[in-house]
Structure 1
Amino acid sequence: METKVVDATGQEVPPGELGEMLVRGPNVMKGYFEMAEATTRTIVDGWLHTGDLMRKNADGHVYMVDRLKHMIICGGYNIYPKEIENVLHDHPAVLECAVVGVPDEDKGEIPKACIVLREGAHATEAEIKQFCRESLAAYKVPRVVKFLASLPKTATGKIRKGEL
Protein backbone atom coordinates (compact mmCIF):
# COMPACT_ATOMS: atom_id res chain seq x y z
CA MET A 1 0.00 0.00 0.00
CA GLU A 2 1.18 3.54 -0.77
CA THR A 3 0.46 6.58 1.37
CA LYS A 4 1.17 10.27 1.12
CA VAL A 5 0.25 13.44 2.99
CA VAL A 6 -0.84 16.29 0.73
CA ASP A 7 -1.99 19.90 0.93
CA ALA A 8 -5.25 21.26 -0.53
CA THR A 9 -3.68 21.41 -4.01
CA GLY A 10 -2.62 17.75 -3.92
CA GLN A 11 1.10 18.46 -3.42
CA GLU A 12 2.99 16.40 -0.85
CA VAL A 13 3.78 18.41 2.24
CA PRO A 14 7.26 18.57 3.81
CA PRO A 15 7.91 16.95 7.20
CA GLY A 16 6.19 18.77 10.04
CA GLU A 17 3.43 20.25 7.87
CA LEU A 18 -0.23 19.27 8.08
CA GLY A 19 -2.00 17.59 5.21
CA GLU A 20 -4.60 15.02 4.28
CA MET A 21 -3.64 11.34 4.22
CA LEU A 22 -4.12 9.68 0.83
CA VAL A 23 -3.79 5.93 0.28
CA ARG A 24 -3.81 3.58 -2.70
CA GLY A 25 -3.15 -0.05 -3.35
CA PRO A 26 -4.87 -3.34 -4.17
CA ASN A 27 -6.48 -3.53 -0.72
CA VAL A 28 -8.06 -0.05 -0.92
CA MET A 29 -11.71 0.18 -1.91
CA LYS A 30 -12.56 0.93 -5.52
CA GLY A 31 -15.61 3.01 -4.65
CA TYR A 32 -18.91 3.27 -2.82
CA PHE A 33 -21.67 0.88 -3.88
CA GLU A 34 -24.14 2.70 -6.13
CA MET A 35 -22.75 6.11 -5.04
CA ALA A 36 -20.80 7.38 -8.04
CA GLU A 37 -20.73 11.01 -6.89
CA ALA A 38 -19.32 10.13 -3.47
CA THR A 39 -16.76 7.85 -5.14
CA THR A 40 -15.66 10.67 -7.48
CA ARG A 41 -15.12 13.01 -4.51
CA THR A 42 -13.27 10.42 -2.45
CA ILE A 43 -11.08 8.64 -5.01
CA VAL A 44 -9.06 10.92 -7.27
CA ASP A 45 -6.50 9.53 -9.74
CA GLY A 46 -6.54 6.23 -7.85
CA TRP A 47 -5.84 7.85 -4.47
CA LEU A 48 -8.38 7.49 -1.65
CA HIS A 49 -8.80 10.75 0.26
CA THR A 50 -9.21 9.58 3.86
CA GLY A 51 -10.31 12.89 5.37
CA ASP A 52 -7.65 12.44 8.06
CA LEU A 53 -5.39 15.38 8.88
CA MET A 54 -1.89 14.06 9.43
CA ARG A 55 1.61 15.29 10.14
CA LYS A 56 4.64 13.33 8.91
CA ASN A 57 7.94 13.68 10.76
CA ALA A 58 11.43 13.63 9.25
CA ASP A 59 11.67 9.85 9.84
CA GLY A 60 8.52 9.26 7.80
CA HIS A 61 6.31 8.42 10.77
CA VAL A 62 2.79 9.78 10.40
CA TYR A 63 0.66 11.15 13.24
CA MET A 64 -3.06 11.82 13.16
CA VAL A 65 -4.06 15.35 14.13
CA ASP A 66 -7.82 15.33 13.48
CA ARG A 67 -10.49 14.76 10.85
CA LEU A 68 -10.78 17.38 8.09
CA LYS A 69 -14.54 17.59 8.57
CA HIS A 70 -14.06 18.50 12.25
CA MET A 71 -11.73 21.44 11.55
CA ILE A 72 -13.09 24.79 12.78
CA ILE A 73 -12.26 27.96 10.85
CA CYS A 74 -12.45 30.85 13.32
CA GLY A 75 -11.55 34.31 12.06
CA GLY A 76 -9.22 32.84 9.45
CA TYR A 77 -7.50 30.44 11.88
CA ASN A 78 -7.70 26.67 11.49
CA ILE A 79 -8.58 25.05 14.81
CA TYR A 80 -8.34 21.31 15.32
CA PRO A 81 -10.87 20.19 17.97
CA LYS A 82 -8.72 17.20 18.96
CA GLU A 83 -6.02 19.59 20.25
CA ILE A 84 -8.53 21.34 22.52
CA GLU A 85 -10.04 18.01 23.61
CA ASN A 86 -6.59 16.74 24.59
CA VAL A 87 -6.13 19.77 26.86
CA LEU A 88 -9.61 19.40 28.37
CA HIS A 89 -8.97 15.72 29.14
CA ASP A 90 -6.11 16.85 31.38
CA HIS A 91 -8.49 18.85 33.59
CA PRO A 92 -9.12 16.84 36.78
CA ALA A 93 -12.90 17.44 36.71
CA VAL A 94 -13.43 16.38 33.08
CA LEU A 95 -14.59 12.83 32.43
CA GLU A 96 -15.14 13.22 28.70
CA CYS A 97 -15.54 16.01 26.20
CA ALA A 98 -16.04 16.96 22.59
CA VAL A 99 -15.30 20.22 20.81
CA VAL A 100 -17.34 21.39 17.83
CA GLY A 101 -17.55 24.51 15.72
CA VAL A 102 -20.69 26.62 16.04
CA PRO A 103 -21.71 29.50 13.76
CA ASP A 104 -20.61 33.01 14.70
CA GLU A 105 -21.47 36.24 12.84
CA ASP A 106 -18.03 37.80 13.27
CA LYS A 107 -15.65 34.83 13.19
CA GLY A 108 -17.50 32.36 10.95
CA GLU A 109 -17.24 29.61 13.55
CA ILE A 110 -16.16 29.47 17.17
CA PRO A 111 -15.12 26.47 19.27
CA LYS A 112 -17.71 25.09 21.69
CA ALA A 113 -16.66 22.57 24.36
CA CYS A 114 -19.23 20.03 25.52
CA ILE A 115 -18.10 18.51 28.80
CA VAL A 116 -19.19 15.68 31.07
CA LEU A 117 -17.79 16.11 34.56
CA ARG A 118 -16.56 13.28 36.76
CA GLU A 119 -18.98 12.17 39.44
CA GLY A 120 -18.80 14.60 42.37
CA ALA A 121 -16.56 17.03 40.46
CA HIS A 122 -17.33 20.70 39.89
CA ALA A 123 -16.06 23.20 37.35
CA THR A 124 -17.35 26.46 35.93
CA GLU A 125 -17.18 27.81 32.41
CA ALA A 126 -14.67 30.42 33.57
CA GLU A 127 -12.44 27.75 35.17
CA ILE A 128 -12.49 25.62 32.03
CA LYS A 129 -11.59 28.60 29.83
CA GLN A 130 -8.75 29.62 32.15
CA PHE A 131 -7.42 26.05 32.16
CA CYS A 132 -7.40 26.10 28.35
CA ARG A 133 -5.68 29.52 28.23
CA GLU A 134 -2.72 28.00 30.07
CA SER A 135 -2.03 25.58 27.20
CA LEU A 136 -3.65 26.95 24.05
CA ALA A 137 -3.37 30.02 21.86
CA ALA A 138 -6.13 32.53 22.64
CA TYR A 139 -8.03 31.84 19.41
CA LYS A 140 -8.26 28.12 20.31
CA VAL A 141 -9.85 28.62 23.74
CA PRO A 142 -13.51 27.54 23.61
CA ARG A 143 -15.80 30.57 23.47
CA VAL A 144 -18.71 28.44 24.70
CA VAL A 145 -18.61 25.73 27.36
CA LYS A 146 -21.63 23.49 27.85
CA PHE A 147 -21.86 20.96 30.66
CA LEU A 148 -23.83 17.80 29.85
CA ALA A 149 -24.87 14.68 31.74
CA SER A 150 -23.58 12.57 28.81
CA LEU A 151 -22.38 12.90 25.24
CA PRO A 152 -24.47 11.41 22.42
CA LYS A 153 -22.77 8.32 21.01
CA THR A 154 -23.19 5.77 18.27
CA ALA A 155 -23.71 2.08 19.00
CA THR A 156 -19.94 1.64 18.69
CA GLY A 157 -19.19 4.41 21.21
CA LYS A 158 -18.13 7.20 18.83
CA ILE A 159 -19.28 10.67 19.86
CA ARG A 160 -21.98 12.09 17.58
CA LYS A 161 -20.53 15.55 17.17
CA GLY A 162 -23.30 16.56 14.78
CA GLU A 163 -25.78 16.39 17.67
CA LEU A 164 -23.79 18.80 19.83
Structure 2
Amino acid sequence: EGYGLTEASPVTHCNPIYGRRKPCIGIPLPDTEARIVDLETGEKELPVGEIGELAVRGPQVMSGYWNMPEETEMVLKPDGWLLTGDIAKMDEDGYFYIVDRKKEMILSGGYNIYPREIEEVLYAHPKVKEVAAVGVPDEYKGEVPKVFIVLKEGETATEEEIIAYCRENLAKYKVPKYVEFRKELPKTMVGKILRRVLAEEERKKMAEAG
Protein backbone atom coordinates (compact mmCIF):
# COMPACT_ATOMS: atom_id res chain seq x y z
CA GLU A 1 0.00 0.00 0.00
CA GLY A 2 1.20 3.51 -0.76
CA TYR A 3 0.12 7.10 -1.15
CA GLY A 4 0.49 9.84 -3.71
CA LEU A 5 -1.43 12.71 -5.24
CA THR A 6 -1.39 14.77 -8.42
CA GLU A 7 0.47 17.62 -6.69
CA ALA A 8 3.21 15.24 -5.50
CA SER A 9 3.36 12.64 -8.22
CA PRO A 10 3.58 9.75 -8.27
CA VAL A 11 4.20 8.62 -4.67
CA THR A 12 5.24 10.10 -1.32
CA HIS A 13 4.68 7.12 1.02
CA CYS A 14 4.71 3.34 0.85
CA ASN A 15 5.06 0.34 3.10
CA PRO A 16 8.60 -1.09 3.09
CA ILE A 17 9.14 -3.98 0.69
CA TYR A 18 11.26 -5.64 3.35
CA GLY A 19 10.78 -5.31 7.07
CA ARG A 20 7.80 -4.21 9.08
CA ARG A 21 4.53 -3.53 7.24
CA LYS A 22 1.37 -2.02 8.69
CA PRO A 23 -2.21 -1.51 7.41
CA CYS A 24 -1.56 2.11 6.45
CA ILE A 25 0.07 4.21 3.71
CA GLY A 26 3.49 3.46 5.17
CA ILE A 27 6.49 5.73 5.63
CA PRO A 28 7.85 8.60 3.50
CA LEU A 29 10.09 7.72 0.56
CA PRO A 30 13.79 8.64 0.69
CA ASP A 31 14.37 12.41 0.39
CA THR A 32 10.70 12.97 1.26
CA GLU A 33 9.56 14.60 4.49
CA ALA A 34 6.10 14.28 6.01
CA ARG A 35 4.41 15.67 9.08
CA ILE A 36 0.98 16.22 10.59
CA VAL A 37 -0.06 19.85 11.01
CA ASP A 38 -3.03 21.60 12.59
CA LEU A 39 -6.21 21.87 10.52
CA GLU A 40 -6.71 25.58 11.15
CA THR A 41 -3.45 27.13 9.91
CA GLY A 42 -1.40 24.26 8.51
CA GLU A 43 1.63 25.70 10.32
CA LYS A 44 1.79 23.95 13.70
CA GLU A 45 3.30 20.46 13.71
CA LEU A 46 1.28 18.04 15.86
CA PRO A 47 2.68 15.32 18.12
CA VAL A 48 2.59 11.59 17.46
CA GLY A 49 -0.92 10.13 17.43
CA GLU A 50 -2.80 13.40 16.97
CA ILE A 51 -5.07 13.86 13.97
CA GLY A 52 -4.41 16.74 11.59
CA GLU A 53 -3.61 17.47 7.95
CA LEU A 54 -0.87 15.55 6.17
CA ALA A 55 1.86 17.83 4.79
CA VAL A 56 4.70 16.61 2.55
CA ARG A 57 7.92 18.07 1.16
CA GLY A 58 10.24 16.53 -1.39
CA PRO A 59 11.50 16.49 -4.98
CA GLN A 60 8.18 15.16 -6.29
CA VAL A 61 6.16 18.12 -4.94
CA MET A 62 4.90 20.49 -7.63
CA SER A 63 6.19 24.04 -7.97
CA GLY A 64 2.62 25.29 -8.30
CA TYR A 65 -0.60 25.16 -10.31
CA TRP A 66 -0.22 26.57 -13.83
CA ASN A 67 -1.39 30.20 -13.90
CA MET A 68 -3.24 29.76 -10.59
CA PRO A 69 -1.19 31.69 -7.99
CA GLU A 70 -3.99 32.07 -5.44
CA GLU A 71 -4.82 28.35 -5.47
CA THR A 72 -1.11 27.55 -5.22
CA GLU A 73 -0.68 29.81 -2.20
CA MET A 74 -3.49 27.99 -0.40
CA VAL A 75 -1.75 24.60 -0.49
CA LEU A 76 1.97 25.24 -1.04
CA LYS A 77 3.98 26.96 1.68
CA PRO A 78 6.98 29.18 0.83
CA ASP A 79 9.32 26.62 2.44
CA GLY A 80 8.08 23.85 0.13
CA TRP A 81 5.56 22.08 2.38
CA LEU A 82 2.47 20.91 0.49
CA LEU A 83 -0.85 20.65 2.33
CA THR A 84 -2.41 17.52 0.87
CA GLY A 85 -6.01 18.03 1.99
CA ASP A 86 -5.96 14.60 3.64
CA ILE A 87 -6.57 14.18 7.35
CA ALA A 88 -4.10 11.74 8.85
CA LYS A 89 -2.05 10.71 11.88
CA MET A 90 1.44 9.33 12.48
CA ASP A 91 2.26 6.56 14.93
CA GLU A 92 5.31 6.21 17.16
CA ASP A 93 7.18 4.26 14.46
CA GLY A 94 6.74 6.98 11.84
CA TYR A 95 4.00 5.21 9.87
CA PHE A 96 1.18 7.37 8.49
CA TYR A 97 -2.55 6.59 8.47
CA ILE A 98 -5.14 8.40 6.34
CA VAL A 99 -8.27 9.22 8.33
CA ASP A 100 -10.38 11.15 5.81
CA ARG A 101 -10.52 14.03 3.35
CA LYS A 102 -10.40 17.50 4.92
CA LYS A 103 -13.12 18.77 2.57
CA GLU A 104 -15.46 16.00 3.73
CA MET A 105 -14.95 16.50 7.47
CA ILE A 106 -18.19 17.36 9.29
CA LEU A 107 -18.08 20.40 11.59
CA SER A 108 -20.88 19.93 14.10
CA GLY A 109 -21.33 22.17 17.13
CA GLY A 110 -17.60 22.78 17.45
CA TYR A 111 -16.66 19.11 16.98
CA ASN A 112 -14.74 17.60 14.07
CA ILE A 113 -16.44 14.43 12.84
CA TYR A 114 -14.75 12.17 10.31
CA PRO A 115 -17.23 10.40 8.00
CA ARG A 116 -15.07 7.29 7.83
CA GLU A 117 -15.48 6.73 11.59
CA ILE A 118 -19.25 6.56 11.23
CA GLU A 119 -19.02 4.41 8.11
CA GLU A 120 -16.66 1.88 9.71
CA VAL A 121 -19.08 1.40 12.60
CA LEU A 122 -22.03 0.88 10.25
CA TYR A 123 -20.12 -1.51 7.98
CA ALA A 124 -19.96 -3.78 11.03
CA HIS A 125 -23.78 -3.85 11.18
CA PRO A 126 -24.94 -7.25 9.88
CA LYS A 127 -27.61 -5.74 7.60
CA VAL A 128 -25.52 -3.01 5.97
CA LYS A 129 -23.96 -3.57 2.55
CA GLU A 130 -22.80 -0.02 1.73
CA VAL A 131 -22.82 3.27 3.61
CA ALA A 132 -21.78 6.88 3.14
CA ALA A 133 -21.78 9.61 5.78
CA VAL A 134 -21.94 13.32 4.93
CA GLY A 135 -22.56 16.58 6.72
CA VAL A 136 -25.87 18.33 6.07
CA PRO A 137 -26.72 21.92 7.10
CA ASP A 138 -28.21 22.43 10.56
CA GLU A 139 -29.56 25.69 11.97
CA TYR A 140 -28.01 25.21 15.41
CA LYS A 141 -24.89 23.08 14.93
CA GLY A 142 -23.80 24.23 11.49
CA GLU A 143 -23.74 20.66 10.22
CA VAL A 144 -24.97 17.29 11.43
CA PRO A 145 -24.16 13.79 10.14
CA LYS A 146 -26.50 12.02 7.74
CA VAL A 147 -25.93 8.48 6.51
CA PHE A 148 -27.03 6.89 3.25
CA ILE A 149 -27.35 3.12 3.48
CA VAL A 150 -27.73 0.26 1.04
CA LEU A 151 -28.95 -2.84 2.84
CA LYS A 152 -27.89 -6.38 2.03
CA GLU A 153 -30.28 -8.28 -0.20
CA GLY A 154 -33.38 -9.46 1.65
CA GLU A 155 -32.72 -7.31 4.73
CA THR A 156 -34.93 -4.61 6.20
CA ALA A 157 -34.11 -1.96 8.79
CA THR A 158 -35.53 1.25 10.21
CA GLU A 159 -33.99 4.65 10.82
CA GLU A 160 -34.50 4.13 14.55
CA GLU A 161 -32.65 0.81 14.46
CA ILE A 162 -29.63 2.33 12.72
CA ILE A 163 -29.47 5.32 15.06
CA ALA A 164 -29.77 3.07 18.12
CA TYR A 165 -26.88 0.95 16.82
CA CYS A 166 -24.78 4.09 16.33
CA ARG A 167 -25.56 5.28 19.85
CA GLU A 168 -24.11 2.03 21.18
CA ASN A 169 -20.90 2.33 19.16
CA LEU A 170 -20.18 6.04 18.68
CA ALA A 171 -19.69 9.12 20.82
CA LYS A 172 -22.94 11.05 21.21
CA TYR A 173 -21.89 13.93 18.94
CA LYS A 174 -20.99 11.51 16.11
CA VAL A 175 -24.38 9.77 15.99
CA PRO A 176 -26.17 10.49 12.68
CA LYS A 177 -29.23 12.69 12.93
CA TYR A 178 -30.69 11.40 9.67
CA VAL A 179 -30.73 8.04 7.89
CA GLU A 180 -31.75 7.47 4.28
CA PHE A 181 -32.02 4.04 2.68
CA ARG A 182 -31.17 3.70 -1.01
CA LYS A 183 -30.93 0.94 -3.57
CA GLU A 184 -27.51 2.20 -4.69
CA LEU A 185 -24.98 4.95 -4.01
CA PRO A 186 -23.20 7.17 -6.56
CA LYS A 187 -19.72 5.87 -7.39
CA THR A 188 -16.69 6.57 -9.53
CA MET A 189 -15.70 4.37 -12.46
CA VAL A 190 -13.55 2.30 -10.09
CA GLY A 191 -16.32 1.84 -7.53
CA LYS A 192 -15.44 4.48 -4.94
CA ILE A 193 -18.51 5.99 -3.27
CA LEU A 194 -18.92 9.70 -4.06
CA ARG A 195 -19.79 11.43 -0.79
CA ARG A 196 -19.60 14.87 -2.43
CA VAL A 197 -22.43 13.98 -4.83
CA LEU A 198 -24.65 13.03 -1.89
CA ALA A 199 -23.69 16.22 -0.03
CA GLU A 200 -24.48 18.33 -3.09
CA GLU A 201 -27.87 16.62 -3.43
CA GLU A 202 -28.67 17.49 0.18
CA ARG A 203 -27.63 21.13 -0.19
CA LYS A 204 -29.70 21.48 -3.35
CA LYS A 205 -32.69 19.84 -1.68
CA MET A 206 -32.50 22.20 1.31
CA ALA A 207 -32.04 25.26 -0.93
CA GLU A 208 -35.17 24.35 -2.90
CA ALA A 209 -37.12 23.76 0.32
CA GLY A 210 -35.95 27.08 1.78
TM-score (norm 1): 0.94
Q: Counterpart of 1:26?
A: 59
Q: Of residues 17, 33, 40 in structure 2, which corresponds to 1:2?
A: 33
Question: Which residue does 1:124 correspond to in 2?
Answer: 158
Worse overlay, 40-49 or 105-114: 40-49
Paired residue secondary structure (1:133): helix
Question: Which amino acid is the alignment partner of residue 127 of structure 1?
Answer: E
Cα RMSD (Å) of the superposition? 1.2
Give per-residue Cα distances to partners, 1:101-126, cap 9 Å, x unaligned. Answer: 00000111000000111111111111
CA contact (8 A) 2:104 2:196 kept: no
Find the partner of 2:99 among 58, 62, 65. 65
Greater shift after overlay, 93-102 or 36-45?
Answer: 36-45
Aligned residue type for 1:78:
N
Deviation, structure 1 residue 30:
2.2
How far is 1:61 from its partner?
1.8
Question: Which whole-Å CA distance do the structure 2 matches of 1:33 and 1:86 have between them?
Answer: 38
Q: Answer yes or no: is 1:103 the counterpart of 2:137.
A: yes
Structure 1's unaligned 5+ residue stretches are none
Residue from 162, 169, 176 that aligns with 1:142: 176
2:111 corresponds to 1:94: no
Which residue number corresponds to residue 44 of structure 1?
77
CA–CA distance in structure 1, aligned partners of residues 48 and 150 of structure 2: 36
Which residue of the other structure, out of 108, 117, 137, is the alignment partner of 1:83?
Answer: 117
1:44 alignment partner, SS class: coil
- Counterpart Cα distance in 2 of 1:123 and 1:38: 45
1:36-86 Cα offsets, whole Å, 9 max, x none, are 322221211211111111111222222111111111111111111110000
Q: How many angstroms apart in 1 are the aligned matches of 2:133 and 2:147? A: 4
Q: Which residue of 1 aligns with 2:146?
A: 112
Whether 1:17 and 2:54 are equivalent positions in the alignment is no
Q: Sequence identity, in percent?
A: 57
Alignment: residue pair count: 164
Runs of 4+ in 1 over 4 A off after TM superposition: none
Bigger-Rg structure (1/2): 2
Return the alpha-carbon distance in structure 2 between the equivalents of residues 6 and 64 of structure 1. 13
Corresponding position: 1:35 with 2:72: no
